[in-house]
Chain A
Amino acid sequence: MTIDSRPVKYTPALPGQPAPDIATISGGRPVFRAELPDGRIVWLVTGYENVRHMIIDQRFSRALAVAPGSARQGFEMFAAGSINGMDPPEHTRLRKLVASAFTARRVEALRPRVAAIVDGLIDAMAGRPQPADMVTDFSLPLPAQVICEMLGVPAEDTGQFHAWSDTILADWQRDPDEILTALAGLYGYFVTLIESKRARPADDLISALIAARDDADRLSEHELTVMCCTLLIGGHETTANQINVSLLLLFDHPGEVAKLRADPGLIPGAVEELLRCSRLGGLPPARMTTKAVQIGGAVIPAGEQVMPLLGTANRDPSVFTDPDRLDVTREAASHLTFGAGVHHCLGAQLARVELQEAFRGLIGRLPGLRLAVPASDLEFKPGMAIHSLRELPVRWDEP
């Protein structure tokens, strides 16, 4: 067994910045050890086949990676105890309870409601003076409204839970106590909401989960509460910023936008291509090896932190021709942005419907949509789990 023990420095780039040249950093090795900006030493896995192999192989454990005692980002503290940070069979028992609510079939039934929310937000934007801020006027309220309605959370509480999730998703620049306080705030919010729904059940996902707990004892009260937190955070922060980073890409590719305006039927494919090309997150969720694993020419010993670089999978030239080119007509649905294996994004189909309806609305109804400030003025919130824009000022052509 050979291990090159000297890790190389690795810093993920923000959207809009050139991606780090992995081949140079890694010395051409598809799997290599790296030192992250917070000082953690991890193994990084690159390339489509290696990344796919790693994220479906159960010898790479999420539960071990997020266990207390291992070096964690803020997001990982949140993941511990949630389905995102569990391995089978605990993961399976809990995910089964919510899986059927998020299938393509179920989510497709929500499409008219998603489209109506999109239309309402664009009506409101069009009725106010320009510029608009996409973050507060559109990207955040759309998925927040949708997941609130699914769960049965009052949408007027969005501001409160968004402040908590901002803190939770930030990481090494943040005081760990702040993250714990935010986690406690979010948790307490759901303890109260679950009690009130237990007294007055409604036709929503929280009430269904309460029934699974109370009638069939399929999850503990703590698991129920954490599941609600997970669905709420996972259900809006990711999609909101995927809308933003996708728009940044589209602003740089007016020719592609013109194709979508001319043929809105291209939008579902374009959403896959935008998911493939854009960089939503800086550092992916880590796994820890349960035993020594041979992958990509390396042998990773047991007990090591490992991260898949999804961008290198999504831009692997052996899978996607001319991978750095944004091509909305490309067959891109095999991207790994939603992951694969047991942790494949629970909300992937919901995100797809929200993104499709968002771009249908924005491209169809706001011609000439563009940045209202120089791209270099855009600021991202601190934290590497999700690239979250503070503001995204936009203008469009008045009719």
Chain B
Amino acid sequence: MKPRDPRSFLPLTPRVFHVLLALAEAPLHGYGVILEVQRQTDGVIVLRTGTLYVLLRRLLDQKLITESEERAAPEDDDERRRYYALTDLGHQVVRAESRRLEQVLQTARRSRVLGRPR
């Protein structure tokens, strides 16, 4: 089956984008995702357990993420935990979204929303 075009997922909602971004570096468990998203967004987006797992289920179903065998450093590993990692499709989608956002940013610069372009 032909893989789905990554661009068909765009634009992503901020939550989905940040969850994918959080998993881009390394596989994480659920609580790790919550902490990472909180760090990335300076606490603007606080994911709660209920929301997160419904979201993760959707991403799993869309094959953007997968459950991972790869583990974090042994000292903070809890082996009962489930870890999530990006699939290739997930990587492509997060890259596509980042590019899109970059263009958005450029447009914003050009229209001087952010002050003079340097």
Are A and B subunits of one complex? no
**B residues within 8 Å of A by Cβ?**
none
